[in-house]
Chains A and B, each alone.
Chain A
Amino acid sequence: MTIDATYQYIFLSGLLVMLCVVASVLTRRIGAPVLLVFLVLGMLAGEDGIGGIKFDDFNMAFLFGNIALAIIIFDGGLGTKTQSFRVSLKPALSLATVGVIITAGITGYAAHIILGLPLLDGLLIGAIVGSTDAAAVFGLLRSAGLDLKERTSATLEIESGSNDPMAIFLTITLVQLLQLSDSGSQGWTIASELLSQVGLGLAFGFAGGHIVAQLLKRLPLPSSLYPLLALAGGICIFGITNHLNGSGFLAIFITGVIIGNTPLIYSNEIHRFHDGIAWLSQIGMFLMLGLLITPSHMIPIIIPAIAIAFVLIFIARPVAIVMSLLPFHFPWREQVFIGWCGLRGAVPIILALFPSLAGLEHTQTYFDLVFFVVLISLILQGWTIAPVARWLKIELPPTSDEPNYLHLTIKHDQDKNLLIYPVVAGSSAVGSSANNLPLTDQCQMVGVIRQGKLISDLEPQTFLPEDQVMILATSPAKTALGRIFAPATLSSSLKSNSFFGEFVLLPSAHMADIAQQYGFEIDPDSAEMTVERYLISQFHGKPVVGDQVQLGLVKIIVRETEGERIVSVGLKLST
């Protein structure tokens, strides 16, 4: 490559990434899935588009695709809070294993019928498109500004973070089966393959995660090197696990979860850095995949691809959801939504490269077909996720904005923060006093700074606008404090009232008294219960914020939870 061409490439890649970033603003306006735009931009830059760039190096695409995917999954892991495991770990794992197998099986069988391929080849296509894409789902939910009930959002999050290993495993196994049936030998068993993929993935993920977390805790480094250390650690674990025939994706996801849930001084920096780098990976990967595809080759497979995509979206995924969630009693609306959120993203496209790298036949067809199925899923489901969530009424009112606060982590006690909140005119903090704050031994008041002077005699003081309130607290207390000091946005509190109802009930209130007060019938067993017990039993032991029961003319709604407990219940007078 000449020097001049090098700079041309650098300029072009910079320009493409910039276009992607700018385009993401536009997509937010029209609600289009941003990944679709990256893909289309890649196709435009490619050989059939105006860019005319010819790129068909599957090996390079595979290398970059793997790295980018690993980073995206790592970032997903970092953002996964172990608290959300309470309601969603088991259902999500069921979806990520049984669900993927059912989806892949049904879709594969359909591909076998539709394309007239041998059964194993059909199943390979099913396996390739078997997993949902974390990045695709969450990018869309976030850009639509949707807050979902925790049961749904955490299930989708953990599912899409952890189902790739299963799809990858199925794909690799089927590729090997196809290779072997060519040569006719049978030197391995599926079981040992599964054991090594999952076993090594888990072992390296847990061990590596703890090692990297300890390094991050103990090494004295300049603050900007911590995120890099986390990333390098994650990539190392990914590489070595894959090298030893384990599931690197599973390992790096677990590593991410461990690091993300370890209290670290620089955890904010680590999150922000990985958010950015995950976006870059996303952009890079979809641009590259857009470049890799040659749209003119896709024309003959359009009809079968549409048929397979419809089987996947309307039959395979819903059946898989219903069957894998059977033991968990999810409300039907949430099941429908989880079914609709089966977005396919980059993973299937990367997996579609496997057969060609393994030297199988019809590989170009696989690739084009899978690409098209992903495209349909992105357009059809991606574009409609937000309206579907609204239609199914599973979104929550937006939580009020985080107030701007100063935040110092106390060294050597990494879970304690010194927080300084400004009292904003119009926020609910104005006029309240230290007595109204949720103070415990985990959350202590330090003082109030008024007009540059520290006031430590707090008893008689009510907060005035422009005060600075200093509080020593653990991280979990931040949510409650944030709500009090949040700048008042009229619309958000209005929406929250119209969602959670006009009144608040104590969790310890008895159902019989509520029934008497608001005139509804209730069976004698439930009448004995407190409203907390009643809601817990209605939602099979795992209630989440937003769960509601209609009783006569009123609704009772879970307003706030703390771990297993319900701490606040809303009462809505339906009119």
Chain B
Amino acid sequence: MLLHELLTPSSALYGLEGGSKKRILENAAEIISEQHPDMSVSSVFNGLHSREKLGSTGIGDGIAIPHCRLAECTEAKGYLVKLDEPIDFDAIDGKPVDLLFILIVPEDSTSEHLATLAAIAELFSQEEARNALRANQDSQSLYETLCKLSAA
């Protein structure tokens, strides 16, 4: 599955508010649940939060990829988040995080979704991709940049 197929223009969230890891995940959960009412705020938040408890999904260089499997989820959803102020995320390299890709997949997700997760990590490991995403000033251009990057 190509990355941009997971996203819609409304799933790029520029300047999401929240001063801590927990607040960011809560606020993201609210928006996700608003757009997809079949998933409740608490189940999205709990899913992401319990995955973080196994170890931070901050993979370094200011990037985090929070992800989880949810029973309520019917098809994989991706959200790209850019923060104004980097926050502490207990990342591998200890650096604060400002760019997140949230991935939520169905409970019975297949190997395809692990491949998607790997592809996201791969994309964000490229410095040019990170720079291109960080250069955006609003949600629309953030979305367009990701589409360009994942189609390339």
Contacts and interface: CB of A to CB of B under 8 A. Distances in A.
B131 interface: no
A575 B115 contact: yes
Contact of A428 (B65, B69, B93, B109): B93
A436 B94 contact: yes
A432 B125 contact: no
Given A432-B95, A554-B114, A519 B55 contact: no
A505 B54 contact: yes
A554 B55 CA distance: 15
A132 B65 CA distance: 48
Interface of chain B, main secondary structure: mixed
B32 to A, nearest CB: 18
Interface in B70-115: 92-96, 109, 111, 114-115
Given A517-B69, A554-B114, A502 B121 contact: yes
B57 A494 contact: no
Interface stretch (A345-353, A403-411, A506-514): A506-514
Interface in B29-69: 50-51, 53-57, 59-60, 65, 68-69
B110 to A, nearest CB: 8
A481 interface: no
A431 B109 CA distance: 38
A553 B59 contact: no
A573 B94 contact: no
Interface residues of A, number: 28
Contacts of B109: 519
B94 A504 contact: no
B16 to A, nearest CB: 21
A490 B127 CA distance: 10
B118 interface: yes
A261 interface: no
B95 A504 contact: no
A494 B125 contact: yes
Given A428-B93, A484-B94, A513-B50, A503 B114 contact: no
A328 interface: no
Contacts of B92: 504
Given A497-B125, A553-B114, A517 B94 contact: no
A509 B117 CA distance: 20
A518 interface: yes
B118 A575 contact: yes
Contacts of A431: 95-96
A503 B59 contact: yes
A573 B59 CA distance: 13
A432 B94 contact: yes
Nearest to B62: A431
Contacts of B115: 573, 575
B121 A505 contact: no
Interface in A485-532: 490, 493-494, 497, 502-506, 509-510, 513-514, 516-519
A509 B125 CA distance: 25
Interface string B10-43: 0000000000000000000000000000000000
A84 to B, nearest CB: 26
Contacts of A504: 55-56, 92
Interface of B: 50-51, 53-57, 59-60, 65, 68-69, 92-96, 109, 111, 114-115, 117-119, 121, 125, 127
Given A431-B96, A484-B94, 13 more contacts: A436-B94, A497-B59, A503-B55, A503-B59, A504-B55, A505-B54, A517-B54, A518-B114, A519-B69, A553-B111, A553-B114, A575-B118, A575-B119
